Amino acid sequence: MSEKKVSAVITGVGMYVPEKVLDNAYFESIVDTTDEWIRTRTGISERRILENGATSNLAAEAAKDLLKSKNMKAEEIEVIIVATVTPDMFFPATACLVQEKIGANNAWGFDLSAACSGFLFAYQTGCSLIESGKYKKVLVIGADKMSSIVDYTDRNNCILFGDAGAAILLEPTNDTSIGYQDSLLRIDGSGKEILNMKGGGSLNPPSHETVDKGMHYIFQDGKTVFKFAVKGMAEVSLDIMQKNGLKSEDIAYLVPHQANLRIINATAERMGIDKEKVMININKYGNTTAATIPLCLVEYYRDGKLKKGDKIILAAFGAGYTWGASYLVWGM
Residues making contact with ligand UT7 (CB under 6 A): 33, 37-38, 41-42, 116, 155-156, 159, 195, 220, 222-223, 225-226, 229, 259-260, 263, 287, 318
What are the Cα distances from residue 189, in Å, to 84, 105, 112, 228? 18, 37, 16, 13
Question: Which one, of 177, 187, 165, lies nearest residue 121 by Cα?
Answer: 187
Q: Which of 96, 116, 127, 158 is catalytic?
A: 116
Give the active site residue among 57, 157, 257, 296.
257
How many residues comprise the chain? 332
Residue 287 a catalytic site member: yes
Exactly one of 96, 157, 287, 296 is catalytic; name it.
287
Measured from the CB of residue 228, what is the shortest distance to ligand UT7 in angstroms? 9
Measuring CA to CA, which residue among 188, 279, 287 is closest to residue 235? 188
Helical (H) or strand (E) element with 315: strand 311-318
Q: How far is the CB of 113 from ligand UT7 (least distance, A)?
A: 14
Nearer to ligand UT7, 96 or 290 (CB): 290
Which is nearer to ligand UT7, 196 or 244 (by Cβ)?
196
* Annotation says 96 is catalytic: no
Min CB(148)–ligand UT7 separation in Å: 15
- φ, ψ at 22 (rounded to 5°): -110, 115
Shortest gap between Cβ of 70 and ligand UT7 (angstroms)? 30
Q: Is 267:256 a contact under the CB 8 Å cutoff?
A: yes
Asked whether the beta carbons of 330 and 308 are under 8 A apart, the reply is yes
- Residue 321 CB, shortest distance to ligand UT7, in Å, is 10
Contacting residues for 150 by C-beta, under 8 A, at least 6 apart? 157, 158, 161, 217, 218
> Quick one: 155 or 270, whose CB is closer to ligand UT7?
155
Closer Cβ to ligand UT7, 74 or 218, answer by number:
218
Give how far Cα 175 sits from Cα of 124, 141, 182, Å: 18, 24, 15
Q: Which residues are catalytic?
A: 116, 257, 287
